[in-house]
Chain A
Amino acid sequence: EAGVTQFPSHSVIEKGQTVTLRCDPISGHDNLYWYRRVMGKEIKFLLHFVKESKQDESGMPNNRFLAERTGGTYSTLKVQPAELEDSGVYFCASSPRVASTDTQYFGPGTRLTVL
């Protein structure tokens, strides 16, 4: 069974440009999460999808970030326009259910560098 995959693995863009990150969850997982680790900080929750619906986007930093999950399969996270402070590693995770005891399975992350 394939794990969570993310594309691209690295992205280097200039301030003001747009970048789109993609996440493919484990097949059959209705729940998809985005997290981010900014340099020197903890990994922080961004948002949670159940199928195509946003259940919790309390961690999204501002309106320059737009996440979508059309059809309830893969998800994209767009940053527009990118700022220097957006640099970091963006992780995606998925799980079959939502429960405090359930495991979230993580992808390898996308390292975003904004110059």
Chain B
Amino acid sequence: AQSVTQLDSHVSVSEGTPVLLRCNYSSSYSPSLFWYVQHPNKGLQLLLKYTSAATLVKGINGFEAEFKKSETSFHLTKPSAHMSDAAEYFCVVSDLRGNKLVFGAGTILRVKS
């Protein structure tokens, strides 16, 4: 069965500094991986997805993630945090048929001014 582990439940950074949110996955096949973000009182929004094309995936709002098969990782990064990035971030893997998403526990990102 597919699973994802988000290694940090909370991450705190200062505005203007880099962001790193860590995710490891487990899958018996080549996975499709996603990062979603949820801002307070909002729905889940897709940031980016990996679908076995380029291993470095660029998303919205300056976020990117790199798929590393050897490390079974799909970490999310951003060079410079903005106050508006404060939210909860979810690493997600799709099951083989694509009808079911498996979510990590979420990482709450706090951005300090």
Contacts and interface: CB of A to CB of B under 8 A. Distances in A.
Interface of A: 3-4, 31, 33, 35, 41-45, 48, 55-56, 59, 91, 93, 98-109
Contacts of A98: 97-99
Interface size class of B (residues with CB under 8 A): 20 to 34
Which secondary structure characterizes the binding site on chain B? loop
B97 A100 contact: yes
A3 to B, nearest CB: 7
Contacts of A48: 99-100
Contacts, number: 63
Interface of B: 31-32, 34, 36, 41-46, 49, 51-52, 90, 94-106
B102 to A, nearest CB: 7
Contacts of A103: 34, 46, 49
